[in-house]
Structure 1
Amino acid sequence: MNITRENVDAVNAVVKVDIAKEDYSDKVEKILTDYRKTANIPGFRKGHVPMGMVKKQYGKAVLVDEVNKLLQEALNKYLTEEKLDVLAQPLPKKQDEIDWDADNFSFEFELGLAPEFEVNLKGKKAITQYNIVADNKMIDEQIERLQKKYGKLISQDTVEKNSEVTGTFTNEEKEINNTVTLFLDKFKSKSTAKLFVGAKVGDVITLKTKGLYENELDLTRVLNISAEEAKDLDIEVLFTITEVNKRELAELNQELFDKLFGKDEITSEAELKARIKEDAENQFVQQADQKFLNDVTEYLIENTKFDLPAEFLTKWMQAASEEEIDEEKAKEQYEKSEKSLRCQLIEGKIAKEHNIEVSVVDLKNHAQDMIKAQMAQFGQPNPSEKELDDIARRILSNTEEARRISEQLVSQKLLAVYKENANIKVKEVTYEKFVKEVYGDK
């Protein structure tokens, strides 16, 4: 057997595999001999069928099968030994119909090679790393929400600006009939809230659904309809008031502190504000990190230039597709996936250069950390090691879940590399300003 490679260019190559008779003849002969021992052919006793008849009936199929096995084994071994970094799988080149009556065979395969390139993390333009802080306004609003949550409801005769108004939305034509509690400051327009002020139990208020809320999800909630039904809904609905209450804020005292954080964990308003600030900013870190990771990734894709075997990958996508697609469709699929492929190659190179790996121990520890955080949310802050081990084992036995956790860990390790090596400017902002800068006014 002889294997040769011709490099077409930096990212394309053709491998030729020559298979001679001596490479496969012994295997084919052995299989046919075994067939002869077990073949059931009318007119002959088992084991006494003439070899010529066995070869005539089975020889061609056995030959094809063995040559194909030999071909795949040789090709895989060659790629491994030559340490070729290939993209996708080798594609057999189109050739004239194979003469299986010949002794020697030649096969050619197209290869798409991973490009050689350098990654420069320190670009001229600095990438913003946001440090999101909780300002006094946010802390005060959170404290007020907690006071409302643990406060008392006091019944009212008439609706005031800060009242909680319970009632039923109805519309016969759309079969809407849903009881809900409304907060007047949630309406998109202040003029809508004014319709309620001064109203009493039993009063009926007519509202237009169009523009009632800033977010259509709020409309789906109060009317109990689907998102599809809420989209562009423009009808009148009636709201019949059945209850009016005022929320008396809970006092900022030790009783409230203990309810929120456990006995004597917090003992003053100053400590409460510090704790709320700390918890909020810990949550902001994840959002800031994700933004930074996205920005570095975009920068690397934009500024790391290399060629890809586009024509080869397009043909491979066409050949590998589960459903038959034409060349134009395959090209469209390639163009959609090219950015993702570039990202994978860049991240793979960075991971290799910085020895980023995910071990079984890493997976287990990360899974256990996730489990502990979730259990703490449900009031189980101290699970036993056996509980953690059992749950982690179940999670990681799911291949898809294990892959997802592994990708999370790689992202975390890449993030650490970027923070250490990229050209960064740190920008401290409030959460409100962060949202405006990153997502625009919403």
Structure 2
Amino acid sequence: MQITKENSDNLNAVVKVNIDKSDYSEKVDKILKDYRKTANIPGFRKGHVPMGMIKRQYGQAVLADEVNKLIQESLNNYLTEEKLDILGNPIPKEQEDFSWDSDDYSFEFELGLAPEINIDFNNKKAITHYKISADKEMIDDQIKLIQRQFGKLVSQTEVKEGFTLVGKFTNEEEGIENETSFKLEDLKGKKNKTSFLGAKTGDTIQVNTKGLFEKEEQLATFLGLEEDKAKDLDVDVNFEITEINEEVPHELNQELFDKYTREEGKITSEEELKNFIKEQAAEQFVQHSDQQLLNDTTEYLLESTKFDLPTEFLQKWIQISGEKELTKEEAKEEFEKSEKGIRYQLIEAKIIKDNDIQVKPEEVKDMMKERIKMQMAQYGGASFSDEQMDQFANQMLSNQEEARKISEQVMSGKILDLLKEKLKLKEKEVSFKKFADEVYK
């Protein structure tokens, strides 16, 4: 067997694989002999079928299968040994005069070669790295939310502003019969709210569904309907009030501080609570800040790192590599959609290679454990031993798809840390509202 490569240019090459009869004949003969031993053909005893008949019946299929295996194995080995950095997979060239009746075969494959990439980390214009903090309004809103969260419901007999109503919506013709609860402020418009204000437990209020609630999706939820049916619904419904509750916020006292922090005496004043909320918010905002920095550094790298791609090859590869073969026009459109992603993958691979960035198994497990802790914190913050946390992490990482996602996140974090060191950044302290206005405008 002989394999040779000829470069068409810096981004395209053709690999030629020449296969002699001696490369495959022994293997093919062995398989055909094994077929002969087990072949069940009428008129012949098992194991006594003439070899000529076996060859006529199975020979070409076995030959094609073995030659294809030989091509794939030898081509993969060649690419590895030659350390060829290719894009996509080799594409076999069509051969109009090919025949399996020959003894020797020659196959050609098109290759798309990865371009040489030089990354410029000397950005003249500094990239903004946001430092997001909670402002006074956000902290005050969070305190109110905490007071409501740990507050209590006090039963009342008459509907007033801010109260919660519990009851049942009905409309026999529309098949509506749903027990639910909503706050008076969920209602839209003064007319709807006035219909309920002053009502008492046991009263039945009739209202129209059109424009009943502030948010359109609330109508389906409160009436127990599918969204499609609730959309543009314009009928009268009855609401029978079974309970009226006032939400009484918890006082700002030591009991509330201990409940919120789940630790006795950790916070002893309103000022300490505000600082605690601010610190928590800053930690949560780091993820937003880093994600935006990654977005901005990615855009810089894409704009500043110029290189050509084997466009024609990639379009051809996209055309034939999916479950369903695309037309040339479809493949071109798909390439144009994915070109930016392909370019960043190549830039990222260059950064990883040049800086020998590696992801260790223990780093993946540590990140998974942090994710588990965050999830637990949302549901009461249960405490587990290190051994139990290891078991949970191992169980989650046994899912290959989950393990791949976490590994990619660890790698992304390492790349971002490197970019923070190499690129010129300017820190900008902003509130979350200001951040959202600037970034998501």
Q: Give TM-score scaled by structure 1 length.
A: 0.87
Inter-partner Cα distance in structure 2 for 1:191 and 1:415? 54
Q: CA 1:438 to 1:236, structure 2 compared with 1: closer, same or farther past 3 Å?
A: farther
Tell me the equivalent position of 1:68: 68
Inter-partner Cα distance in structure 2 for 1:207 and 1:438? 41
Q: CA 1:208 to 1:36, structure 2 compared with 1: closer, same or farther past 3 Å?
A: closer
Tell me the equivalent position of 1:333: 334
Inter-partner Cα distance in structure 1 for 2:183 and 2:434? 25
Q: CA 1:35 to 1:153, structure 2 compared with 1: closer, same or farther past 3 Å?
A: closer
Inter-partner Cα distance in structure 2 for 1:236 and 1:424? 60
The answer as to 2:12 corresponding to 1:12 is yes
Inter-partner Cα distance in structure 1 for 2:225 and 2:195? 23
Inter-partner Cα distance in structure 2 for 1:342 and 1:116? 12
Tell me the equivalent position of 1:88: 88
Inter-partner Cα distance in structure 2 for 1:293 and 1:235? 50
Contact 2:192 2:207 in 1 (8 A): no
- Letter of the 2:141 counterpart: E
Inter-partner Cα distance in structure 1 for 2:179 and 2:46? 83
Number of aligned residue pairs: give it.
439
Inter-partner Cα distance in structure 2 for 1:8 and 1:211? 69
Contact 1:297 1:343 in 2 (8 A): yes
Aligned identity (percent) is: 54
Q: Alignment partner of 2:8: what SS?
A: strand
- Letter of the 2:223 counterpart: L
* TM-superposition CA deviations, 1:90-120 (whole Å, max 9, x none): 1111111422222221111111222222223
Contact 2:397 2:403 in 1 (8 A): yes
CA-based RMSD of the aligned residues comes to: 3.0
The answer as to 2:401 corresponding to 1:400 is yes
Tell me the equivalent position of 1:126: 126
The answer as to 2:375 corresponding to 1:374 is yes
The CA deviation at 1:89 is: 1.5
Inter-partner Cα distance in structure 2 for 1:286 and 1:330? 36
Contact 1:209 1:237 in 2 (8 A): no
* TM-superposition CA deviations, 1:295-352 (whole Å, max 9, x none): 3223333443322223222222232222343332333333332232222222222222
The CA deviation at 1:75 is: 0.9
Contact 2:192 2:212 in 1 (8 A): no
The answer as to 2:225 corresponding to 1:225 is yes
Q: Alignment partner of 1:111: what SS?
A: strand
Tell me the equivalent position of 1:413: 414
Tell me the equivalent position of 1:146: 146
Tell me the equivalent position of 1:360: 361
* TM-superposition CA deviations, 1:230-258 (whole Å, max 9, x none): 55556665555544443333222222222
Q: Alignment partner of 2:96: what SS?
A: coil
Tell me the equivalent position of 2:352: 351
Q: CA 1:347 to 1:258, structure 2 compared with 1: closer, same or farther past 3 Å?
A: same
Tell me the equivalent position of 2:31: 31
Contact 1:210 1:233 in 2 (8 A): no
Contact 2:163 2:246 in 1 (8 A): yes
Inter-partner Cα distance in structure 1 for 2:47 and 2:362? 56
Structure 1: segments with no counterpart, 5+ residues: none
Q: CA 1:350 to 1:53, structure 2 compared with 1: closer, same or farther past 3 Å?
A: same
Q: Give TM-score scaled by structure 2 length.
A: 0.87
Inter-partner Cα distance in structure 1 for 2:356 and 2:219? 50
